[in-house]
Amino acid sequence: MKRISILMILALTLLLVGLVVPTALLPGPTVQAQAGASWIGQFYNCTDFNCGIADYGAYLNGLSQNWGFGQPSDDTRTLTDVNSDNFSARFTANVAFAAGLYEFVITADDGVRMSINGLPVIDNFDNTGLATTSAIVNLSGPATVIVEYVERVDLALIQVQWFPTSGTSIAPTATVAPLAIGVVNYVRGLAVRTGPFLGASMVAVARPDVNYPLLARNEREGLFTWYLIQYDEDTVGWSSGRYLFVEGDENVLPYADSIFPTLPVEEYKGVTGITRSVMNLRQYPSPRTPLLAQIPWGGEVKILSRTVQGGMNFWYQVRWEDQIGWILAAYVGINNGIIDAVPVY
């Protein structure tokens, strides 16, 4: 009995140690940096942005990339049209910051600079080699963050983070007020969409009696300038300049892209459709964007992504032969797969 008691005490001791030690070894809580930030990158095959855009990249879960000695990539693919060395990139994110102090930390090889709503915050663009730069900024609310990066030779990497802080602002000029205000005119409600296109998904309706901060602009649709507006604390979206009057100098608004130029970013879900009319294949989900091809009545298309409006499928992004473009969903019948599996943008 004595031996059994000793064994029981030993077993109980080991059990208690087993419960305590792993807890002590667990890491402490970590700060979630740049949570929810999605970036669009424009890449140039030169080091000063003074050449045509070579490609676009989408970074939906933050900007933290180590490209090594090869060509840059985004979340889903290698950007094969961009050089391995001697390139530059401009990354844009629209972030719903709460008012307060934030520490911005950028690690890059080679140079980098950052602005918030057009105001410079970090400038280490002439750097060669690996370096980390930081600044504490006082923000008054949602803002557009632009990071410009240059890769000259050898290793290429960039990581952008920010954290709430109680420190003292060392960049007081970056206290952010809206660069311009948008006011709805001539209509009782103006659609706020996920991209600067008539066929992008609708997320809200802007009203005439509200002043909306403008964060950026875009002219991909061709006829009217679209503006990225801060609809409320949690919602950012695009509205057409046809019915949006700009108070302030719109020329100071940065140019920003949506995710649409980089789609598709998801794997093909095996969904196909049959056209029920002769259909125009457009570059983006809008009849105002370039015509890529005509799809005949009864053509079979692979459906890659979609937009929605009023709970209904609005436009489909499809692959037709060797081209990818957008067609109206109303004239497409699904003949294979489940349309709900196709991602919505």
- pLDDT > 70: percent of the chain: 86
pLDDT of residue 289: 95
159 pLDDT tier (thresholds 50, 70, 90): very high
> What is the reported pLDDT for 177?
53
Q: What residues have CB less than 8 Å from 174, skipping those under 6 apart?
A: 116, 119, 120, 121, 135, 137, 138, 139
> Is the pLDDT score of 157 beyond 60?
yes
* pLDDT beyond 60 at 259: yes
How far apart, in Å, are the Cα atoms of 113 and each of 1, 75, 146, 269?
75, 22, 8, 39
Q: Residue 141 is encoded by which pair of tokens?
A: 């609310």
pLDDT at 52: 83
Per-residue model confidence (pLDDT) at position 28: 31
pLDDT of residue 36: 58
Do residues 121 and 24 make contact, with C-beta atoms less than 8 angstroms apart?
Answer: no
pLDDT for 156: 93
pLDDT of 50: 87
Q: Confidence band (pLDDT; 50, 70, 90) for 343?
A: very high
Q: What integer pLDDT is reported at residue 75 of this predicted model?
A: 85
Confidence of residue 277 (pLDDT cuts 50, 70, 90): very high
User: Residue 19's pLDDT band (boundaries 50, 70, 90)?
Assistant: very low
More confident residue, 1 or 227: 227
- Ordered by where they begin, the domains of the chain are 39-174 (2.60.120.260), 180-252 (2.30.30.40), 263-341 (2.30.30.40)
Name the residue among 194, 310, 334 with its Cα closest to residue 318.
Answer: 334
What CA–CA distance (Å, rounded) separates 325 from 321?
11
**120 pLDDT more than 80:** yes
Average pLDDT, rounded, for the chain? 84
pLDDT level of residue 140 (50, 70, 90 thresholds): confident
What is the arithmetic mean of pLDDT over 253-262? 82
Q: What is the DSSP string of 163-214?
A: EE--S--S-GGG----SEEEEE-SSS-EEEESSSSTTSPEEEEE-TT--EEE
CA nearest to 177, candidates 239, 247, 125? 247
pLDDT confidence of residue 170: 54
pTM: 0.58
More confident residue, 89 or 24: 89
Query: Between the ranges 105-119, 201-215, 227-241, 301-315, where is the mean pLDDT highest?
Result: 301-315
- pLDDT at residue 169, rounded to an integer: 56
Average pLDDT for 222-243: 89
pLDDT confidence band for 270 (50 / 70 / 90): very high
Most confident of 26-30, 229-233, 261-265, 314-318: 314-318
| pLDDT for the residue 281 | 98
CA distance 284 to 27: 46
Q: Do the Cβ atoms of 53 and 44 come closer than 8 Å?
A: yes
Specify which of 54-58, 170-174, 254-258 reaches the highest per-range mean pLDDT: 54-58
Highest-scoring range by mean pLDDT, 11-25, 134-148, 286-300? 286-300
